[in-house]
């Protein structure tokens, strides 16, 4: 599998669980480093570049809260708390200390992987696969996207123009491109683009889809590129008509 260039640090004294998660990360193209204590974690962070930290709260030599608090003085590396401590106070403390997400043990490995991917995207942008997309979005209408330079262009009736998109419009479009011809549920789109711990209203997605259509479709009221799948969500498809 392609190496995405991102390394996850797992700070947890449950070695069996850490090895299970590390196998999942390697299978999905991520690097992984394990730490069983705060001292190990501090040493690793000092000597290695890590892109995300999966952090337990209860550790042999202290708490994950203290590590996150100290880390936030010098770094904005994303942190997901993963703990058997599930009280509302613990979750609030974790987020107030600078955590970006909080998942309670026991958790689904698939859900954890989804949260890691989502947080990586939100932090570093949709750069896991830098490439150029090109789609026919109706008659005489071609959409091209350079993900390396984050440039979107529209060639309509032979006239090329750059399309100005907001950050979330761009992230939403890239996620649709990465999953073209797949029916994507609304709740999954919101979680992936805005984050699993988001507080946005479902209508926010609807508005961003409308804005994309207004900028990319020949006839936004009758979209042929970003289509609605009623009762489910949306799908991105090429269309020459």
pLDDT by residue (tens digit) across 148-203?
778 899 999 889 999 998 878 988 999 999 899 999 999 888 877 876 546 678 89
For the whole model, what pTM was predicted? 0.54
Check pLDDT > 80 for residue 96.
yes
Query: Can you tell me the distance from the alpha carbon of 142 to that of 37, in angstroms, rounded to the nearest whole number?
Result: 53
Contact criterion met (CB below 8 Å) for 209 and 186: no
When the pLDDT of each residue in the chain is averaged and rounded to a whole number, the result is 88
- Percent of the chain exceeding pLDDT 90 equals 56
Domains defined for the chain, CATH in brackets: 7-124 (3.40.50.2300), 132-236 (1.10.10.10)
Strand ordering across the sheet containing 101-104: 31-35, 7-11, 52-55, 79-83, 101-104
Q: Which residues does 29 contact at the CB level (< 8 Å), separation at least 6? A: 1, 2, 3, 4
Tokens describing residue 22: 């590390």
Q: What is the DSSP string of 9-74?
A: EEE-S-HHHHHHHHHHHHHTT-EEEEESSHHHHHHHHHHS--SEEEE-SEETTEEHHHHHHHHTTT
pLDDT at 159: 92
The encoded tokens of residue 112 equal: 């954890």
- Rounded Cα distance, 168 and 179, in Å: 17
- Residue 121's pLDDT is 84
Q: What's the pLDDT tens digit per position in 101-133? A: 999 888 888 899 989 988 988 887 654 456 789
Phi, psi of 103 (to 5 degrees): -125, 135
pLDDT at 4: 55
pLDDT for residue 217: 95
| pLDDT tens sequence across 231-240 | 999 999 988 7
């Amino acid at each position: 599998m392609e190496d995405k260039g991102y390394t996850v640090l797992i700070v947890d004294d449950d070695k069996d669980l850490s090895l299970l998660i590390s196998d999942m990360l390697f299978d999905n193209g991520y690097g992984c480093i394990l730490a069983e204590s705060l001292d190990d974690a501090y040493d690793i962070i000092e000597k290695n570049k890590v892109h995300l930290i999966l952090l337990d709260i209860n550790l042999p030599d202290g708490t994950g809260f203290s590590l996150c608090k100290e880390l936030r003085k010098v770094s904005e590396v994303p942190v997901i708390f993963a703990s058997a401590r599930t009280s509302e106070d613990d979750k609030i403390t974790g987020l107030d200390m600078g955590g970006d997400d909080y998942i309670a043990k026991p958790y689904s490995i698939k859900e954890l992987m989804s949260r890691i991917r989502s947080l990586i995207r939100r932090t570093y942008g949709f750069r896991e696969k830098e490439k150029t997309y090109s789609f026919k979005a109706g008659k005489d209408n071609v959409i091209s996207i350079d993900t390396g330079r984050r440039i979107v262009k529209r060639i309509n009736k032979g006239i090329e123009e750059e399309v100005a998109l907001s950050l979330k419009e761009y992230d939403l479009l890239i996620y649709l491109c990465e999953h073209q011809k797949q029916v994507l549920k609304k709740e999954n789109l919101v979680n992936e683009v805005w984050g699993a711990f988001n507080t946005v209203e479902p209508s926010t997605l609807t508005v961003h889809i409308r804005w994309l259509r207004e900028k990319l479709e020949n006839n936004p009221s009758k979209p042929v590129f970003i289509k609605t799948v009623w009762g489910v969500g949306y799908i991105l498809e090429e269309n020459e008509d």
